[in-house]
Chains A and B, each alone.
Chain A
Amino acid sequence: MSSEKVDLSQIRGDWDFHSRYVTNAVEQTLKRVNKTWKQLKAAGRKKGQVPVDGALMEEFMEACAQTRALCDDYLILAETQGQKVTKKRTSKRAKKPAAAKKRAKKTARKASKKTSKKTSKKTSKKTTQKRGASK
């Protein structure tokens, strides 16, 4: 048996894809519910009555049961929409150490420049002066 939580990233398409699929499935099944209900009412012998058994009633009950079952998919979608937010959060958190790394790199570069300047001042004063003159 699988874990309780669904990971939509393991399934085809993104959250929007699955949301469109569920809505279409609900609409198609509701069409069947309405169609069979109309047929049941038309088959009723008296006003306000429908045939309470037979193939048509079975078809109506099955379409209703399937519609209810599809409601579970909205719970999955609600659950996985939450997962989407947590993914964003984790990615933002992930940016922080990257920014810190950048800052650390900058300071390291500055420090290395300073040390290189000190050494280069001793060896090649003329070139630094020329650079400054060109500015």
Chain B
Amino acid sequence: MTVDPNTTRVENHVLLRGVALCKRYIQRAPFSRRKFTVDAVNNVDLEIQVGQITALVGESGSGKSTLASCLALLEKPDSGQIFVEEQPVTGWGARQLLALRPRIQMVFQDSAGALNPRFSAARVIQEPLEVQGLSSGPELRQRACSLMEEVGLSPDRADASPLEFSGGQRQRLAIARALALKPALLILDESLSGLDLVTQAEIMNLLLDLQGRHELTYLLISHDLSMIGQVADYIAVLQRGMVVERGRREQVFKRPQHEHTRELLSFARGLEVAFHSAGAEARG
């Protein structure tokens, strides 16, 4: 059992592990017999350690979202195994998975689409609690309001529709919802894309804050290596469904082995400087 001298987090516990995951999509052009098979996820191994921020990087079409869906137990991979806290969950049905759901929650990219516009903000946050039957009545509302405060939203707006919030505020709402079930792992699928840089930094700060308070583990998914570079502990690079490079942040950044990683890094260089200051402040 090793203890990283830089932090007080324990680092040998694997929260989520994927082994040889494959998922393929078959598309058929209408009225034609030709089929296109796309290997969205091709033989991927991935480990997510407790307490760490693991980043999954790749361009669009690299299979990041599909992999995330599989890891979040929202989709079933065609082959391979998934272990949640060393427990194999391959082939589990909806009922069995129900108990595991609170452990892993996901925050999506498109917050406007991820939150039902007809619900009030409070209702959005309450829904997971309702579904899991964890509380009811006035207690629900209390939980919702306190969660809103935690993510930096004013509980006065509990009855507003998600559409009345700005993009950044909506993401905070989505994060609040994800926290409702007190998860161990939060998967953030491109959650910062589409926001302006200042808001991105704010949300990132919030996430780091929350991590400290609730002992969360993060899986960050993004195409933006520069932003990831500030916060991630461990990075895996995905290209066309395969992991082409993995390693600790310093390793990947200073000595990238794979060409694709080098490509991505070169795009990101320009922005890294801007982020460095914001990220450095956040980390204290």
The finding on whether chains A and B are genuine partners in a shared complex, rather than unrelated, reads no
A: which residues have CB within 8 A of B?
none
B: which residues have CB within 8 A of A?
none
